């Protein structure tokens, strides 16, 4: 019964997605050029919207950069504390137990 089919065969799902290269810097540059070459008028809502979007992006980037630098500094401080702690532990271990280890190896 499985070999007999009364309808069309089930076809695989196909996607028509074509990957494209996206360059945000180029897009921002073109938007700025367009902004300055276009005749400014207060009734142009598209230009106003693009300026508002650009200002929001700029503020977000500044906050993101500040957060990243703050987190990097914190991470570096923690790493330095751990290294200093390990050095202290190694020094104490070697000063306390190295003579015993040397004695044991000499026997």
Q: What is the 3-state secondary structure (H, E, C) of the chain?
A: CCCCCCCCCCCCCCCCCCCCCCCHHHHHHHHHHHHHHCCCCCCCHHHHHHHHHHHHHHHHHHHHHHHHHHHHHHHHHHHHHHHHHHHHHHHHHHHHHHHHHHHHHHC
Q: What is the per-residue pLDDT across 30-47, written as a single tens digit (0 to 9) for each?
A: 877 877 776 555 456 777
pLDDT of residue 43: 55
Report the alpha-carbon distance of residue 24 to residue 70 in Å, rounded: 25
Supply the pTM of this predicted model.
0.42
pLDDT of residue 38: 60
Q: What is the per-residue pLDDT across 52-64, written as a single tens digit (0 to 9) for each?
A: 777 777 777 767 7
């Amino acid at each position: 019964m499985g070999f007999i089919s009364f309808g069309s065969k089930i076809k695989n799902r196909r996607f028509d997605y074509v990957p494209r290269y996206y360059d945000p810097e180029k897009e921002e540059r073109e938007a700025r050029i367009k902004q300055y070459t276009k005749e400014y008028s207060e009734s142009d809502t598209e230009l106003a919207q693009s300026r508002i979007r650009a200002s929001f992006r700029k503020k977000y980037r500044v906050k993101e950069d500040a957060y990243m630098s703050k987190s990097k500094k914190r991470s570096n401080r923690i790493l330095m504390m751990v290294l200093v702690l390990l050095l202290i532990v190694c020094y104490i271990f070697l000063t306390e137990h190295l003579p015993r280890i040397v004695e044991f190896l000499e026997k």
